[in-house]
Structure 1
Amino acid sequence: MRRGSKAVALAAGLAIMGLAACDSTALAPRTTEVTPQVRPAAVVKPAAPAPEPGPSAASLDLQRYYARIQKDLLVRGLLRTDGGGPDTQFTDTMLARNFERIALAEEYERGAGLTPSRGDLGAIKKWTKPIRISVEFGPRVPRDQIAEDRAWLAEYAAKLGRITGHPISMGTSGANFHVLFMSEDDKDRIKPRIQQLVPDVNLASLDLFDNLPRSIHCLVIAFSETQGGYEYGEAIAVIRSEHPDLLRRSCIHEEVAQGLGLGNDDPRARPSIFNDDDEFALLTVHDEMLLKILYDPRLRPGMSADEARPIVVERAAELAGAGSS
């Protein structure tokens, strides 16, 4: 982490020139053809700009905590970035089952903050309009992280566009998917910014930002076009800037993909980032297939599991091959 807050103020010095006077008229004529010089203005030394305030003790503590988390996961062989391999084989039947649990089930009750859902299968949730991703950084986010995070997000947005075939791009004009990188010291800005972006946001969804537990590394809230609908029109992801590089990048991958409609986690999904075991840090081949299924144009927002299942099974067989159950 960065050093603690420290403000330095420099007093500005005033240099004032004094002029000596002479009473002897013999030394100078009463009139002269010489125009006197303008008296110089007082010289004021500009104050040096105060250094940027460093992170608070709470933010430093979070940096140390998440650094330990990442180190522990890596030591245990987790946070893989290989996308899966020979040890993570899956069949089309497994892929179709995982799609239902990840795309159709809800992790939390709709409009109820962090209240866990009962796990029932719901309906297809996805975007039909083009997605325009913007990125914002809190004023206390370390400046040396901004270029890196922006580049990662732009690269990932382009990749998601290729995978889904859906128009996904970066830009501030007309943005409807907002990714906010915020530090602990920026947390008072999160709720007002969300309310500014989505004025009719559900208060229960907003209240969870009052005291976000550190066990929640990052999150995304997706908003439907209509009340209780399933066609997304706006999304906001919040990522803690205190994360070390790999955890921060992992948050980008999971939250943006979840904001596309893969909103749940399932312990049986492997290889996948939609699994709380942290085995994988970045989007896997399996997860790419889930996105391809979700953005099949035959799957429409609001379709039930029964309506979607024949299409899901067909696409899973095409993508993963007709394996055994």
Structure 2
Amino acid sequence: MTLTRCFLASFLLFFASFTLPNAASANDSFTTEELLEGFEKTVFGLEYRSWSWRPYLVKKFTQPVLFYVHNLSSRDRSKVVRRFVREIGNRIGGLTTGITNDRNAANFEVYVVDRAQYEDVVRRDIYKNDRARVPGRCLVRVVSGRKGIKRSAAVIVSDEGEFLFKRCLVEELLQGLGPMNDDAALIHSVFNDSSRHSRFTVFDQIILNMLYDPRIKPGMSMKQTKDILPLVVRDARRRVR
């Protein structure tokens, strides 16, 4: 073996030993206790209590989630939204997602707006109340019942920078699937208004895979999930790579 080949082989061996464990262990970066706490804070909390049935119980879709995209902003963000919807479907076991061109067939509507449109769209299309208070810089509303989430609708602001758009897209679409609360203690999560995450983090992927595990049923209380959650965490780790 020549000196050049020897050096190259040594470098590749070093590079592999340096990078592969990190990739393989990404889903082991968090303790079981951290993930259980994250599940408790996001799934059993509720940022805006009046938006959902029985707020402190499990909320999730039990049927395929069909998204319809309303691009009302001056910039067409449809491709980005559709790409993230596909990512959601690829990364969450137990959940089927799709995109429809038939608004009446959708159970998750996404409105992409400019800031000047935000309040009008929220009042007219989300609350259907011209006098409703409009919270937040972007939002999602979830309508849930005993058999799970019936429908969700998110409003995402497009024209106030890439960070806000991407963060809102990720946070609101994921919250519309069930983990509806934010908490400042969740430093690895987009479900934290103080964090700088704008992507579907590994931590959040595990939380969503826990929620969509078939053993977790709509309407379950925190007490009812307590005994099975350690097994659910273990299996969710295996699904997230």
Task: Name the TM-score, length of structure 2 as normaliser.
Answer: 0.77
Take 2:215 and 2:194, find their aligned partners in 1: how far apart are those partners?
32
Q: Secondary structure at the match of 1:287?
A: helix
2:62/2:147 contact within 8 Å kept? no
Give ranges in structure 2 of 5+ residues lacking alignment. 1-22
Query: Are the equivalent residues in 2 in contact too, given 1:125–1:301 (CA < 8 A)?
Result: yes
Aligned-partner Cα distance in 2 for 1:242–1:222: 24
Please say if residues 95 and 316 of structure 1, whose CA atoms lie closer than 8 Å, have aligned partners that are also in contact.
yes
Determine which of 104, 110, 129 is the counterpart of 2:50: 110
Give deviations 1:7-48, integer Å, cap 9, x for gaps. Answer: xxxxxxxxxxxxxxxxxxxxxxxxxxxxxxxxxxxxxxxxxx
Indicate which of 116, 132, 136 corresponds to 1:207: 132
Specify whether residues 178 and 285 from structure 1 end up closer, same or farther in structure 2 by C-alpha distance, changes over 3 A only: same
Count of residue correspondences: 209
Identify the match of residue 151 of structure 1 among 73, 79, 101. 79
List aligned pairs for 1:1-325, cutoff 5 A.
Answer: 89-111=29-51, 122-138=56-72, 141-142=73-74, 145-146=75-76, 149-165=77-93, 166-173=95-102, 174-186=105-117, 187-194=119-126, 207-209=132-134, 212=135, 216-224=136-144, 226=145, 229=146, 231-320=148-237
Partners in 1 of 2:199 and 2:175 — Cα distance?
13
Q: For 1:251 and 1:193, locate their aligned partners in 2 and report how far apart those are by CA, in whole Å.
A: 18
Give the SS at the match of 1:238. Answer: strand
Partner amino acid, structure 2, of 1:270: I
Contact 2:109 2:153 in 1 (8 A): yes
The 3-state SS of whatever aligns with 1:134 is strand
Asked which structure has the greater CA Rg, the reply is 1
- The separation in 1 between residues aligned to 2:150 and 2:142, in whole angstroms, is 8
Could you tell me how far 1:137 is from its partner in structure 2?
A: 2.4
Identity of aligned residues (%): 27
SS at match of 1:133: strand
Local SS of the residue matching 1:310: coil
- Residues 31-72 of structure 1, C-alpha deviations (whole Å, 9 max, x = no match): xxxxxxxxxxxxxxxxxxxxxxxxxxxxxxxxxxxxxxxxxx
More helix by share: 2
The CA RMSD measured in Å over matched residues stands at 2.7
Q: TM-score, normalised by structure 1?
A: 0.58
* Structure 1 outlier segments of 4+, above 6 Å: none
